[in-house]
Amino acid sequence: MRRAVFFDRDGTLNETVDRDGSPGSPRAMDELEIVSDAPEGLQRLHDAGFVLLCATNQPEVARGLTSRTFVDSVNRCLLEALPLDEVLVCWHDDGASCACRKPLPGLLNDAAQRLDLDLQASFMVGDRWRDVEAGRAAGCHSILVLRPWSEQWRCSPEFTAGSLTEACAWILDRGTG
């Protein structure tokens, strides 16, 4: 079995877009900005042998605010710019009661089964409580990259990082060998 690092997308791998005081997903390609420390951090994890996956909720598709085609375009850009192996997407809104919408672990569990991943030796990195709780529910080590919107009080991360660089270093300290 292989080890993986799952990353949330918006707010973790790419910057969020301010939507009336709330963080949101890009809705135009000129709004896509990769987090500055993502390429180096992910490359270090890749070089250490981790499978790198992005696991993202994209409810704006279900809400009619963006299209699957656009989200797929953003995901392709991330796959080209970062050493990611795959992007896993939940297209549903909260009311859909699907198993793939974080904080439920469906995206992680499905990937583990398909890709022969050891979830107990894997990590989930995100900027929101939903990411941390999805990782914990799947049995992964969970890391919160602290942002003003993280709602840290709603989750119990194993580690809280001030940056993606710090999160990647913590993983490398614990996840090699």
* Marked catalytic residue, from 10, 30, 85, 118: 10
Query: Which distant-in-sequence residues (6+ apart) come within 8 Å of 28 by Cβ?
Result: none
Distances in Å between the Cα of 38 and the Cα atoms of 9, 52, 78, 162 are: 11, 12, 10, 13
Q: Do 50 and 175 touch, CB atoms closer than 8 A?
A: yes
Q: Annotated catalytic, 10?
A: yes
* Marked catalytic residue, from 8, 18, 93, 127: 8
Q: Annotated catalytic, 8?
A: yes
45: number of Cβ within 10 Å: 24
Q: Which residues are catalytic?
A: 8, 10
